[in-house]
Structure 1
Amino acid sequence: MTVLLTEEPRPRPPAERRRPARLWQPRRVLVTPAALDHAHGRQIVARAEALGLPVERLKSNRLTGLRDDENPRRAYAQAKATLAVVTAPPTKLKLQPIPPSADWRFDLAEGCPAHCQYCYLAGSLSGPPVTRVYANLDAILGNLDSYLGQGGVTSTSEARAAEGTTFEASCYTDPLGIEHLTGSLSAAIRHFGAWEAPVQLRFTTKFAGVEPLLDLPHRGRTRVRFSVNAAAAAHYEGGTAPLADRLAAMGALARAGYPVGLTIAPILPVEDWQEAYDALLRDAAEALADVSEPDLTVELITHRFTPGSKTVLEGWYPGSDLPMREAERTRKLTKFGSVKYVFPGDLMKAMRAHLTERVAARLPGARILYWT
């Protein structure tokens, strides 16, 4: 594809002079005995200790003492500063479909170090938001082969069949945000690169520390998508990489031959939203301006919330101005019968038409995978 610039490109630093990514440093690292039975678990501990992080080896495989019912805010803060090295339970080896993104979801970890005020994990994970990373990586990756050729998103789609069987690794975590601590993402990329089959690893990220990935033998079988938003929404994304750094990282990966993507989410009617999202797409085009025919996809995801996620998020981020007033939304039922609140139909149509048109104008040749 080609990218279209309708304004003079602004100067960008060369890829080799990109400023170093800010890396998350947990305040404590908990390790279960079962995790230490795995070589990958021991490697994670060694990484943490090399960084000078306090490592506590637990006496049992249960994580306890994480709740603080008298002070939920303190419990949240402590959990967000904690990395737990554990083993994935057997249920994790029974993969679930994850439409419209991919055929299957598999997890390298659960939880995320970022502080996004709209975090969808608030309604998905129970208990304090500790980041749990899985030590039994060999079992997780070795399990994927049994799902080859199956699935209802890309495996059976004429439009996306070229992607092969797709596996989403960022449903419950941001694997790049913790990669310097785990090495799990690099191992997964190598696994897919060596897998002689029509497959694709997919993950999305709000971080920019891509240097460990640039020279991996990915063989075009990993698509890295960067979760981005209009500049006016930046204050909702605490603890993440600045937007400019994410876009620069996307350019670096594209130059390294990776398929890349933009996950524009959650789309919000911020002030002057038409111009705000056009500016985002302009900046994305600039980041790819020196890449010949990048393989680029775009996923468009509007903001929605459930009663449960709203309650959790308001507890985590009291005082947030994130628009979550039910009276301003349309009430919908999910396929499971639960309630969610989305934008009214007229606004949804207007946003979809505008973003679709601007993607075509700014990034001609990019494939829009879905709007939701």
Structure 2
Amino acid sequence: MNLTSRNNLLDIRRIYVEPAAAELPRGQEILARFPDAERVEVESHHRIPELYGDETNVARWVRIKTEALVLGVKKSLTARPNGRSADFIAPSTANGCAMACAYCYVPRRKGYSNPITVFANIDQILGYLRRHAGRQGSKTEPNQVDPHAWVYDIGENSDCSLDATVSRNVRDLVELFRDLPEAKASFATKYVNPELLDWDPRGRTRIRFSLMPAADAKLLDIRTSPIADRIAAISDFVAAGYEVHVNFSPVVVRDGWLESWAELFTQLDDALSPQARQQLAAEIIFLTHNDRLHEVNLGWHPKAEEVLWRPELQQAKRSQTGGWNVRYRTGHKGRYVNALTDLLTARLPYCRIRYAF
């Protein structure tokens, strides 16, 4: 089956192409997958004025994500230390997304609309990761990331499940880590892609399904798989050889928020197989928002801002890009975190909490 036939989020009509990417085998594969798309040569995947850096694009937000694809070459190959979701952040094989979550931090880095960019130099990236993992040797001291393996987040700036509908890059990464005895891949996702069930990861890839109460997701998780579908997929992915954790993220404080999370935990408990329960762990991340994204959201999804932008509950901190990030107020946030972790422990006592903040 053609990969694109399963994805109703993309209708690629225009591909922005770096010439070097078009010369590589992976670039040629991607171009052949979308033979009817217009090709626009660009000097750099970072600098495409009609896609990036123009907040007036908000009126075309979803259309850009649906119809545009960028094909580039990843120039800088580094594995950054992390310590929360993973031990290292792997070099990206893609960035951007066809989904449009109202709180997403990734668009702020590239200009908000931020469609999928795929990097064609996958062989260089695979080689770098193989060498980097080899230099680490065995993990001699367990940590909250993993007791035995060095974990590499392969999807920091994109959703790998969705990326897999565009190219083979993600499958190549899963197959790479399958054969690295001291390392694991990891990525978070809001998109259920059943094709991944056939990849035989042999326990060396950790998928983190992002979950929130269904009412919040309907408002905030735009163009994503329904929460019920994500929950239903967990046991299937465990049976297929993946390690599956959950991200409770972002946690949004609103009227009745704890009751909604209690309902979500019940839904999760009812759906999990014994095998899925045995290996389950969670990350809990409370909302961080941004003043610039707030202003853009007011132009296309103002209802989301009624729960995301709560000055009476939040405090501001200057961001690295010069704007202001807002988080729940110190002191109050600690009480929110304790309330949710206590609730999770009571409802799903088998679910280990890897971290919460």
User: Taking structure 1 as the reference length, what is the TM-score of the superposition?
Assistant: 0.82
Confirm whether residue 45 of structure 1 aligns to residue 31 of structure 2: yes
Deviation, 1:156, is 5.8
Q: 1:237 aligns with which of 221, 234, 257?
A: 221
What is the letter of the counterpart of residue 365 of structure 1?
Y
Give the corresponding residue for 2:243. Answer: 259
- DSSP-derived class of the 2:110 partner: coil
Match of 1:165 among 121, 125, 150: 150
Q: Does 2:332 align with 1:347? A: yes
Give the aligned partner of residue 187 of structure 1: 172
The equivalent residue for 2:21 is 35
Deviations 1:318-365 (A, max 9, x none): 453233133431234679998532112343233222322232233333
Distance, in Å, in 1 between the alignment partners of 2:259 and 2:55 is 45
Match of 1:66 in 2: 50
> Are residues 1:222 and 2:205 paired?
yes
For these two proteins, the number of residue pairs brought into alignment is: 344
Amino acid of the structure 1 residue aligned with 2:348: L
Would you say the 8 A contact 2:206–2:243 is kept in 1? yes
Alignment correspondent of 2:273: 289
CA distance in 2, matches of 1:247, 1:276: 15
Q: Tell me the CA shift for residue 192 of structure 1.
A: 0.6
TM-score, L = length of structure 2: 0.85
Structure 1 residue runs without a partner (length 5+): 1-19
Q: Pick from 185, 195, 199 the counterpart of residue 212 of structure 1.
A: 195
Q: Is the alpha carbon distance of 1:351 and 1:208 closer, same or farther for their aligned partners in structure 2, counting shifts above 3 Å?
A: same
Query: What letter matches 2:173 in structure 1?
Result: A
Matching residue of 2:118: 133
CA contact (8 A) 1:66 1:128 kept: no
Instruction: Give, in whole Å, the separation in 1 of the partners of 2:235 and 2:131.
Output: 34
1:199 lines up with 2:183 in the alignment: yes
317-326 vs 106-115, which moves further: 317-326
Identity of aligned residues (%): 26
Match of 1:274 in 2: 258
Deviation (angstroms), 1:41: 1.8
For the aligned residue pairs, the C-alpha RMSD in angstroms reads 2.9
Q: Which residue of 2 aligns with 1:11?
A: none
Q: Does 1:79 align with 2:64?
A: yes
* Contact persistence 1:85–1:135 (CA under 8 A): no
CA distance in 1, matches of 2:68, 2:326: 32
Find the counterpart in structure 2 of residue 249 from structure 1: 233
Shift of 1:273: 1.4
Q: Distance in 1 between matches of 2:342 and 2:253?
A: 17
Task: Give the match's secondary structure for 2:225.
Answer: coil
Asked whether the equivalents of residues 21 and 73 of structure 2 are also in contact (C-alpha less than 8 Å), the reply is no
Cα gap change, 1:221 to 1:173, in 2 (>3 Å): same
Q: Deviations over 1:30-49 (max 9, x none)?
A: 05232222222222233334
1:326 is aligned to 2:320: no
Task: Point out which structure has higher relative CO (alpha carbons under 8 A, 6+ apart).
Answer: 1
Q: Indicate conservation of the 8 Å contact 2:59/2:300, yes or no.
A: no
Task: Tell me by how many angstroms 1:266 deviates.
Answer: 0.7
